[in-house]
Structure 1
């Protein structure tokens, strides 16, 4: 389930592509105030969210949108209420006002395609690098195409299985979950923090699917709610149906 929040710019603004931590801070504050602090502390996040789109400079009064998705309908409602009840939203130097929110519940079709709304982040350590024959001296490496599709999908599927088992308290169906894929591009994504910027390396994709069972349908719908890959709580790995683009 998801909510589409309509925003407007309080003044002329330049779009800040390093917005993630600022937007996360506002969302996390609202969630803690509404009694959802525990879900932020441990385990894979069962929610995801888009960027503020379209991602370009805005003039005062111009409209923008934002989507928050989660497996818990009450959590989605809480976020929509939090944003609209305290409608002044400062995302770094981007000042917005939340005007209204709409509930959406997109479901996967029998066969179609999912597409990244924000880049997918996959990271691995030196032990994994050695296992896959990758030469890396870093404690944590961001996946890039030269590291191979086996590593990417092993981590992507493993992460999605953990989310499924947390959401449904039952074993996840066996992968593969997608019948085809296309890597669109590698995206270096800066994120601003109080002590400086960090650049995360993500990737944008399309994933084809064909539903095989009820459990497979659930895990695909979970990808729409909770996102794919890591750092969903920082705004990475948000997914859309191609029908909605």
Structure 2
């Protein structure tokens, strides 16, 4: 379940590429004095994700922009919707908007589907797995971010493990590790700058397209869950946001 939030620029502004913690802060403030008011401080997974503000371009006063909020928890999405009903203005750093409308979306995946990473997927490989994947970092790091110079196997395995752990934590169900990703297309590697405890740090991510065919019930549930909670790590900072690609039907012939 997700929300499509439409906003209108109140003034000319340069698009802020370091929007992550600022938009996250806006969302957490919406949860103040609700049943989710302690979500920010809660240990473990947050079970929500959000897109970038799109299109990601400098804006003029009056330009329309949008962003999406997604979660496998319908009550959390409903809380966001209720709180947004009382919002007139959305401030994300130096970007200021008036709130125009909020729409509820319920995308469902079928037996076959194509998913695209709308924001970079972050995957960290722990030191314990360096030898397994033949990784030799220049320093004794506790983990490394997956980058294209590392084996694709490392990315997919860590991605699957992360998704299964989140699924178990949310549903409280025991589920056996299983290969999830069938076909995948690497699009590009990216480096983002985020603010952590007042300090700017780099995170390395990657953009992918995932193709699924003949999904059976349990596997479809896992993929549907990933569509809403996000793929990889740092989902509540806006990373790993996933969109379904809707196939265009051929135009009718005369």
> Shorter chain as normaliser: what TM range?
over 0.9
Q: Which moved more, 1:71-80 or 1:194-203?
A: 194-203
Question: Aligned pair 1:166/2:169, yes or no?
Answer: yes
Structure 1, unaligned runs of 5 or more = none
Q: Which one of 170, 183, 192 corresponds to residue 189 of structure 1?
A: 192
Q: 2:51, 2:67 within 8 Å by CA — same for their partners in 1?
A: yes
1:11 match? 11
2:63 match? 62
1:91 match? 92
Question: Aligned pair 1:225/2:225, yes or no?
Answer: no
Q: 2:120, 2:240 within 8 Å by CA — same for their partners in 1?
A: yes
Q: 1:44, 1:162 within 8 Å by CA — same for their partners in 2?
A: no
TM-aligned CA deviation for residue 67 of structure 1: 0.5
When residues 199 and 83 of structure 1 are mapped into structure 2, their CA distance, relative to the original with a 3 A threshold, is farther
1:209 match? 212
CA distance in 2, matches of 1:49, 1:221: 16
Question: Aligned pair 1:147/2:150, yes or no?
Answer: yes
When residues 17 and 244 of structure 1 are mapped into structure 2, their CA distance, relative to the original with a 3 A threshold, is farther
TM-aligned CA deviation for residue 18 of structure 1: 0.8
Q: 1:188, 1:201 within 8 Å by CA — same for their partners in 2?
A: yes
2:127 match? 126
| Number of residue pairs aligned between Structure 1 and Structure 2 | 245
CA distance in 1, matches of 2:76, 2:247: 22
Structure 2, unaligned runs of 5 or more = 249-254
Name the larger-Rg structure: 2
Flag as ranges the 4+ runs of structure 1 deviating above 4 A.
none
TM-aligned CA deviation for residue 122 of structure 1: 0.5
TM-score by length of 1: 0.93
When residues 220 and 214 of structure 1 are mapped into structure 2, their CA distance, relative to the original with a 3 A threshold, is same
TM-aligned CA deviation for residue 195 of structure 1: 3.2
Q: Which one of 182, 203, 206 corresponds to residue 179 of structure 1?
A: 182
2:246 match? 243
1:76 match? 77
1:22 match? 22
Question: Aligned pair 1:105/2:111, yes or no?
Answer: no
